[in-house]
Amino acid sequence: MATAQSMNEEKHANVRSVNYGKLTWYYIEKPTEQDMAFLAQHFNFHPLNLDDVLSRVQRPKIDEEEDHLFIVLHFPVFNKQNRVTTPSEVDIFIGENYLVTVHKSGDLKPLARFFKDCEVDEGTRQKYMGRGSSYLLYHILDNLVNYCFPILNKIIDNIDKIEDLIFNKTVPETVRQISIIRRDLIGFRRVIRPQVAVVEALEQEEYPFFKEEQEVYFGDIADHIRKIWDGLEDCKEVVDGLADTSNWLTSHRIQEVMRVWTIIMALLTVPSLISNLWSMNVRLPGAGIDSYVPWALIVLLMIISTAITYLFFRRKHWI
């Protein structure tokens, strides 16, 4: 009969476990040196792998030992406050009769939720743990990979909103939104890209303690990872296109402003010249006459010159 047992008896509060038949799943969240000492005491894990668990960041990889695998994977976690995707590391030791998952930050809800379901529900334990450690690993990875799709869909929705912003909002707001999406995409791509090789290795390599059909189950995970990567590539192309469009619109608006100001300055050039000539301290026609007639003639000359310049621009189709 399956039982869920606490490791408090071992005085390791962070180490929780659940077992069904011969298979035991050890779950560690926010590991400490004491937790690694517990693993070193109960398992034949390499000390360097245990050190990797406590180190800050490890690249996704698979280390194959004689009777187990050590797997490092990253999964994206979306920070709503900063609107950025950050990696969250999961370290996995898997042998024939055990599976150990170590999660550093505790922010991967699917992993915690899946362990809780196995811990409290006997039917769930029987369904996912009754067919060996490889089958349990497949479902753990499946839950974590499927957790990536809502984050990807959120990015796609934000991209759709940016398309409206480009044509309706001011330039600074558009640039800010595109920059946020780009930062999010870069973070997401950094998480997913190294995963492809790791999951493909699980799919293609043969491990003696994997009882299930690796090519079928882990091939499904690899397909999902590749689908996410393809979606990120499409998003990158769209965002790059939107950035180019935003830059073009910005340049076009600047050109339009400069064009209007250039036309205004051109129309005022001749009247300004006339005004400057008659303001010089030299004797010109009409100067010194106590009458409004010379002033009116000068104003009329300014208006005529402005009209001629305007008609010339119209004829050239510049305005």
User: Rounded distance, CA 309 to CA 277, Å?
Assistant: 19
Phi, psi for residue 12 in degrees, rounded to 5: -125, 90
DSSP assignment of 162-177 equals HHHHHHHS-HHHHHHH
List Cα–Cα distances, 180 to 79, 159, 160, 228, 251, in angstroms: 12, 10, 14, 20, 21
Q: What are the domain boundaries of the chain? A: 3-250, 254-315
Question: Of the CATH numbers 3.40.640.10, 3.40.50.11890, 3.40.50.300, 3.30.460.20, which one belongs to the domain with range 3-250?
Answer: 3.30.460.20
Phi, psi for residue 144 in degrees, rounded to 5: -70, -40
Type of residue numbered 5: Q
Give residue 5's pLDDT. 43
List Cα–Cα distances, 133 to 214, 227, 273, in angstroms: 12, 26, 90
b/e map of 110-138 (b: 16 or more CB within 10 Å)? bbeebbebbbeeeebbeebbebbbbbbbb
CB 218 within 8 A of CB 202: yes
Give residue 279's pLDDT. 64
pLDDT tens string, the chain, 319 residues long: the values are 334 444 444 445 578 999 898 899 999 988 888 999 999 998 989 999 999 888 877 788 998 888 889 999 998 887 777 767 788 889 999 988 999 999 877 678 889 899 999 989 889 999 998 888 888 999 999 999 998 898 888 888 888 888 777 766 666 677 788 888 888 888 888 888 888 888 888 888 777 777 656 678 888 888 999 999 999 999 888 888 888 877 777 777 778 778 777 877 877 777 777 776 666 655 556 555 555 666 677 778 778 887 887 787 777 777 6
DSSP assignment of 263-318 equals HHHHHHHHHHHHHHHHTSSS--TTTT--SSHHHHHHHHHHHHHHHHHHHHHHHTT-
- Helix (H), strand (E) at residue 95: strand 84-95
Pairing of strands 23-29, 98-103: parallel
Question: Tokens standing for 257?
Answer: 């402003």
- Helix (H), strand (E) at residue 133: helix 133-146
73 DSSP β-pair partners? 90
Give residue 253's pLDDT. 77
pTM attached to this predicted model: 0.74
User: Rounded distance, CA 205 to CA 295, Å?
Assistant: 96
Give residue 291's pLDDT. 57
Burial (0-12, 13-18, 19+ Cβ within 10 Å), 38: buried
Cα radius of gyration rounded to whole Å, the chain: 35
